[in-house]
Chain A
């Protein structure tokens, strides 16, 4: 099985290129299924999202829509972008900044009844605005964000 001396380098180069292309194809095929697109409620209404497909849903939590269920760990609420409204449910510990009237990005998928089942909630937080002049703050902001998000 000895490779001819002249060809070994070429073979290795071709194998390496095949590997890189393979990585690209593999990534492309998986991304088609697994990348979660960002939807606003109106886009959900207009374009439609098939049940079970992982997406991110972003909007405002409708004031007055937040209900806690009897198990104490499930909440139901409506998400709106001003044009359309979508019902959502979440089981877990909601982040501190999650409240009625505030912005939310929910990760999850729709069930067959059209309710969005969130597996994760990301609430908007306050420390996003960092001016250029205060460069030293970035690390603080980093930790802070990590803490504040959930």
Chain B
């Protein structure tokens, strides 16, 4: 058959499709929305207490000369549970961490912390996501690094994985 090359056309079309898929996998669409607040001062807020054995959280906490992490989480958020070992590791490395619980209830937060560990020194309750929005955060979990002057220097979107921990510690040290 002279038209033998025709038989290979389907394979060629499929190869093009495969290349497209591979491209899509290697360069995932930019899904992360970074905050417009990076480099700007932390918005002022006062949040009520979210957990029974941790004090409430006010923004003034972040302007006392020492850089701190601000972790946005929720007891109903599964990825937040997944990142808890990494937060515990950060706390053990001496990084102070404060938390904001989004749309949560105190008994749920208590149960969550009892189950997954409590790396926080203060936890504020943001029942209507208002501080979260003011921070330019669009989901949970997210983690911000605030320098000692109350400026947002870095944002980590999504759960913190084990491989992210050294980088975050380095950034925290650099902010000192």
B134 part of interface (Cβ distance < 8 Å):
yes
Of the candidates A20, A103, A133, A134, which one forms a contact with B33 in the assembled complex, judged by CB atoms under 8 Å apart? A103
For residue B79, give the distance in angstroms from its CB to the closest CB of chain A.
Answer: 5
**Which residue of chain B is the closest to A97 with respect to CB atoms?**
B129
Of the candidates A13, A14, A129, A137, which one forms a contact with B158 in the assembled complex, judged by CB atoms under 8 Å apart? A129
Of B46-54, B60-68, B93-101, B137-145, the one with at least 4 CB within 8 A of chain A = B137-145
In angstroms, Cα B78 to Cα A140, docked, is 11
A124 part of interface (Cβ distance < 8 Å):
yes
How many inter-chain residue pairs (CB < 8 Å) link A and B? 50
For residue A81, give the distance in angstroms from its CB to the closest CB of chain B.
Answer: 9
Interface size class for chain A? 20 to 34
**Contacts A/B (CB < 8 Å), 12 sampled:** A10-B3, A13-B6, A17-B6, A101-B134, A103-B33, A124-B138, A127-B77, A131-B79, A131-B159, A133-B82, A134-B82, A140-B78
B31 part of interface (Cβ distance < 8 Å):
yes
Chain B residues whose CB sits within 8 angstroms of the CB of A128 once the complex forms:
31, 139
In angstroms, Cα B79 to Cα A101, docked, is 24
Chain B residues whose CB sits within 8 angstroms of the CB of A13 once the complex forms:
3, 6
**Contact residues, A124-145 vs B (CB, 8 A):** 124-131, 133-134, 137, 140
